[in-house]
Structure 1
Amino acid sequence: MRNNDDPDGGRLRSTERGEVLGRKKKSFSQKTFLRLITIISTFGGLLYGYDTGVVNGALPFMSRQDQLGLTPFTQGLVTSALLLGAAFGAVFGGRLSDRKGRRKLIMSVALVFLIATLGCSMAPNVELMVTFRFILGLAVGATAVSVPAFLAELSPAERRGRLVTQNELMIVTGQLLAYIFNAILGNMFGEAGNIWRYMLVIATLPAVCLWLGMLIVPESPRWLAAKGRFGEALEVLRKVRKAERAKLELNEIKQAIEEDSRIRKATMKDLKLPFVRRIVLIGIGIAVIQQTTGVNSIMYYGTEILKDAGFSTGAAMIGNIANGLISVLATFVGIALLDRVGRRKMLFTGLMGTTTALLLIGICSITLKSSAALPFIILSLTVLFLGFQQGAVSPVTWLMQSEIYPIYLRGLAMGISIFCLFTTNFLVGLLFPVLFNAIGLSATFFIFAGLGIIAMAFVKKYVPETKGRTLEDIEHTFHKHEKRYFAKKKAAGIKTAES
């Protein structure tokens, strides 16, 4: 109620209300812009998911004698060529993103996605298909490195887990969309052998959206600051943070850069240093673990697995939609839990779940071999497996890759660890159809279960906790190990490059 004794009181209160509303509107605008940046940049993840998932339904049609006439080995080659390309794309993508910027790299790979997708969809033979799948993989690998790093460097510490794992959500969404389009096209136009070409060419649409969207997205503020462009870095931070917090965060970034400047730029020679080698080996271990669960044997060959269990081709393609759907739903759960539950705890729990599901698949494949219920039991167990994988193991993997490395080492180290991730992925993709054909489903999945037990032991002993810590705080811990190392060397009278 207005105070009549104070003629200015109502006006002052109105002004105050206007300032409060203005601050709220600006805060809303900042959150909305950050959300928009996240959606646009993670179209790279959508492309990654679609291009890896689409082969699941396309393989039965590609394999026809009137098409590409694939054998179990060439099936593995067509599938895994993308993953081999991704391994190299991760290495070069990490270095290029450090030199040219995260944004420029993402824009460039959008064009590579477009050209390579068109090449795959028009390939007349296995040789050209493998070539274009390899080129497509270069874009996948570069995106896999640059997008999580880009999002981590734009995100506030308390929301970093949720925002970075949006990329994982888009990957599994891309796979789900691939399964849906595969099922629709395969069941409606299955008599047309070349329907696989239409399945592949759909990926050109998100590639165009990614390139156009990145035109309005700013560069990473941490990358700008690392290049000495502090004014531009502050301007970007103000677009996604409150003004006061933006200044404080820029000061933290400057401090981290000053610490980094005291040592030379990271090169492969740095891997000789124990504290560098340890953190890189932990990153490689986390990356390899994600693939040795055997997740991509299901994501790439789910149709063949369900056909072997007893489903027809059409029914198996429809069943794969359940795998894609649970992957998306589980990723939502994982995103919600990441900033509440520790990364390390989630990773260990996820591995327990995936290993148990793999053991059950192997046991049921032997004991219920002639049962009519086997196809539905296998489908249920693959859904259970993917619930743990996509709800815990995969989100933690991609998030920790963007968290554990200091800024001067991030591009190089992420490139190395993601190279190892895709190399393992390549081996799984290449060897699974060969093993599946030679020793059967149960024995193959028992191998994956054994690797899962080893993975749990690794997590328990070596993986650190990063929940609730800023990137700069994690980096300060790294520098403490570094200083202790050089202090010990100095005390021992050993000369180093640092001294």
Structure 2
Amino acid sequence: MNKQFESVQNVARPDVPPQKNNPKKYLKLITIVSTFGGLLFGYDTGVINGALPYMARPDQLNLNAFTEGLVASSLLLGAAFGAVFSGRLSDHKGRKKVILYLAFVFLITTLGCTFAPNAELMIFFRFLLGLAVGGASVTVPTFLAEVSPVELRGRMVTQNELMIVTGQLLAYTSNALIANLSGGSTHIWRYMLVMATLPAIVLWIGMFFVPESPRCYASKGKLKSALKVLQKIRHINHAKLELVSIKKSIHTEQKINKASFRDLGTPWVRRIVFLGIGIAVLQQATGVNSIMYYGTHILQNAGFQMDVALVGNIANGLISVIAVIFGIWLLGKVNHRPLLMVGLIGTSSALLLISIFSQTLQGSPVLPFLVLSMTVMFLAFQQGAIAPVTWLMLSEIFPQRLRGFGMGVTVFCLWITNFLISLLFPVMLDWIGLSRTFFVFFVFGIAGLIFVKFLLPETKGKSLEELELYFRNKEHSKQKTVKISEGD
């Protein structure tokens, strides 16, 4: 056993005061406060939906189709790098401290975006804001997983996903309210953006009342501090036992030889990583974030007036929240692979119908209502089936030795795909129109369906060890088949 660890018996001395906190109440406080990081993630990615058309005006930032894409997508490029580097930073500094840093970055960069005098500074501050968004996307779920008891872990971690879509709904709602109550102000978009400072302040202040992860303390040999935290968030009898379990887990992980890019030379490892990348890219290639970031623009293009488009876009946020709640419940009831396929069939159908309606009913007063109903249908399948299954399958397919490396690569690819689609969507809309743009996403959806049908295994009910054995055996049987055919 690592020498840095004291014995648990010495730490759990009788002079430790009896527990006064109610563990359930304290865990609720921790969940509410920390998931404000998810709320900020959602708000900052969703607010651009309504703010962009106003900031694009000639008397504001004077954006064309390409610079609109840069303003929207620069946050996502920053998020890709924030997601990659925040994990290692939180290992070194601690989860709580990194979330505090992120809250400060959220606050400062939001103010930078709000007062940006030109497109160049807006893109710069949106990129920095993306570092915080990407950091929150990794650090907050990790923190929640480490403070939650086993029986509540799934519920607490998925609260962050719920807060992300809630943040997007809040963004769409506040955008509509500000636009309709502004009285024609030329700086409407600045009011929309600055609203994000409020949850950033709540997160920053709230984190001072939240403990550090006990696992983080234990990994640094601070077992007294780890036990004190556990005694606040667990029943007394469970706290000591869990500390022993954490010690064993950390000791086991220290002996694991972690994977790196060199391991991609092993066929079965390469196959798992490429499957992970495929799942991540698939989730984005359906075009979900073209609707989440440009929903108002799409509805305007279909025929709604700006103020009506902003109100109509609230339906997209509302269905996302409802679908995520339903999807979280559904995950425990059905197999993951069929659920993913049903989601892809639903989203692809919605994309095809948007393409057909936009082509055949152009100029019709009914078109914007049909497009809105199809975006709502799309998000119901996306947020209720594809999104929850994506993150769950990514957490399931990587064996212990590959998890850090595999998740890092796949999440980076997910953010980069998100960035590219968000950058190119307004350009495509301007170049080939609404109908052809959504037909391209429909083709991606069909390609995703083929990928899931023929390449992706079922993961529900299988342990990490069973999945590793499946991939090893699959590769072995392929090699055996090749040798037999060569012998023929």
Q: Deviations over 1:238-257 (max 9, x none)?
A: 54444555555555544444
CA distance in 1, matches of 2:147, 2:38: 17
Q: 1:272 to 1:41 in 2, by over 3 A?
A: farther
Change (3 A) 1:188 1:418: same
Give 2:144's aligned amino acid.
L
Q: How does 1:46-445 map to 2 (within 5 A)?
A: 46-189=39-182, 191-230=184-223, 232-243=225-236, 245-246=238-239, 249-274=242-267, 276-402=269-395, 404-405=397-398, 410-445=403-438
Q: Tell me the equivalent position of 2:35.
A: 42
What is the CA–CA distance in structure 2 between the aligned matches of 1:174 and 1:71, rounded to whole Å?
A: 27
Assess, with a 3 A threshold, how the Cα gap between structure 1 residues 372 and 280 changes in structure 2: closer, same or farther: same
In 2, distance between residues paired with 1:28 and 1:289? 45
Q: Which moved more, 1:73-82 or 1:225-234?
A: 225-234
Aligned counterparts of 2:272 and 2:95: Cα–Cα separation in 1:
23
Task: Give the corresponding residue for 1:22.
Answer: none
CA separation in 2, counterparts of 1:461 and 1:224?
44
Letter of the 2:159 counterpart? Q
Asked if the contact 1:296/1:429 (under 8 Å) is kept, the reply is yes
The Cα of 1:443 is off from its aligned counterpart by 1.3
For 2:88 and 2:470, locate their aligned partners in 1 and report how far apart those are by CA, in whole Å.
25
What one-letter code is carried by the residue in structure 2 that aligns with 1:203? A
Give the aligned residue type for 1:425. Answer: N
Instruction: Specify whether residues 75 and 372 from structure 1 end up closer, same or farther in structure 2 by C-alpha distance, changes over 3 A only.
Output: same
How far did residue 210 of structure 1 move? 1.1
Residues 64 and 193, structure 1, Cα contact 8 Å, conserved in 2? no
What is the number of residues matched between the two proteins? 457
Name the amino acid aligned to 1:214.
M
Give the superposition deviation at 1:228: 4.3
Q: Using the alignment, how far apart are the partners of 1:253 and 1:344 within structure 2?
A: 32
- Classify 1:417/1:171 alpha carbon distance in 2 versus 1 (closer, same or farther; 3 Å): same
Long gaps (5+) in structure 2: 1-18, 475-488
Q: Give the secondary structure class of the aligned counterpart of 1:119.
A: helix
SS of 2:60's equivalent in the other structure is coil
Write the deviation string for residues 24-57 of structure 1: whole angstroms up to 9, x where unpaired. Answer: xx99932332232222111111111111111111
Report deviation, 1:102: 2.2
Classify the secondary structure of the residue corresponding to 2:47.
Answer: helix
Counterpart amino acid of 2:323? A
**Secondary structure in structure 2 of the residue aligned to 1:123:** coil
Find the aligned partners of 1:458 and 1:246 in 2 and give their Cα distance: 45
1:81-131 Cα offsets, whole Å, 9 max, x none, are 101111111111122123222222211111111110000000000000000
**TM-score normalized by the length of structure 1:** 0.83
Q: Judge which range, 293-302 or 101-110, deviates more.
A: 101-110
**Could you give the per-residue CA deviations for residues 320-376 of structure 1, whole angstroms, max 9, x where no partner exists?**
011111111111112222333344443332222111111111122122223221111
Question: Which region of structure 1 is more displaced relative to structure 2, 381-390 or 157-166?
Answer: 157-166
Residue 9 of structure 2 aligns with which residue? none
CA distance in 2, matches of 1:336, 1:234: 33
1:279/1:252 Cα in 2 relative to 1: closer, same or farther (>3 Å)?
Answer: farther
Equivalent AA in structure 2 for residue 43 of structure 1: F
8 Å CA contact retained: 1:97, 1:411:
no
In 1, distance between residues paired with 2:450 and 2:228? 45
Q: Write the distance in 2 (CA, Å) between the matches of 1:402 and 1:101.
A: 22
Structure 1: 4+ residue segments shifted above 6 A: 478-485
CA distance in 2, matches of 1:77, 1:283: 27
Which residue identity does 2:34 align to in structure 1?
Answer: S
Q: C-alpha distance in 2, partners of 1:352/1:222?
A: 41
Q: Is residue 2:450 matched to residue 1:451?
A: no
Distance 2:461 2:26 in 1: 23
TM-score by length of 2: 0.85
Conserved 8 A contact 1:76-1:430: yes
Q: CA deviation at 1:261?
A: 2.9
3-state SS of 1:215 partner = helix
- Is the 1:307–1:313 contact (alpha carbons within 8 Å) kept by the matching residues of 2? yes
| Farther-moved stretch of structure 1 (395-404 vs 196-205) | 395-404
Distance change >3 Å, CA 270–CA 88, structure 1 → 2? same
Separation in 1, partners of 2:329, 2:20: 22
Q: Distance in 2 between matches of 1:30 and 1:461?
A: 46
| Structure 2 counterpart of 1:202, one-letter code | M
Q: Distance in 2 between matches of 1:428 and 1:411?
A: 26
Contact 1:148-1:399 within 8 A present in 2 as well: no
* Cα distance in structure 1, aligned partners of 2:20 and 2:437: 52
Quote how far apart the aligned CAs of 1:215 are.
Answer: 1.8
Partner of 1:67, secondary structure, is coil
- Counterpart Cα distance in 2 of 1:153 and 1:250: 12
* Contact map agreement 2:277 2:414 (CA 8 A) in 1: yes
RMSD of aligned C-alpha atoms?
2.9
Matched to 1:144, the amino acid is: S
- The one-letter amino acid paired with 1:431 is L
Instruction: Tell me the secondary structure at the aligned position of residue 362 of structure 2.
Output: coil
Alpha-carbon separation, structure 1, partners of 2:44 and 2:415:
14
Question: In terms of mean alpha carbon deviation, does 299-308 or 155-164 score higher?
Answer: 155-164
Q: Which runs of 5 or more residues in structure 1 are unaligned?
A: 1-25, 486-499
Q: Contact between 1:106 and 1:147, CA under 8 Å: does it hold in 2?
A: yes
Q: CA–CA distance in 2 between the matches of 1:313 and 1:282?
A: 41
Which amino acid in 2 is paired with 1:421?
Answer: L
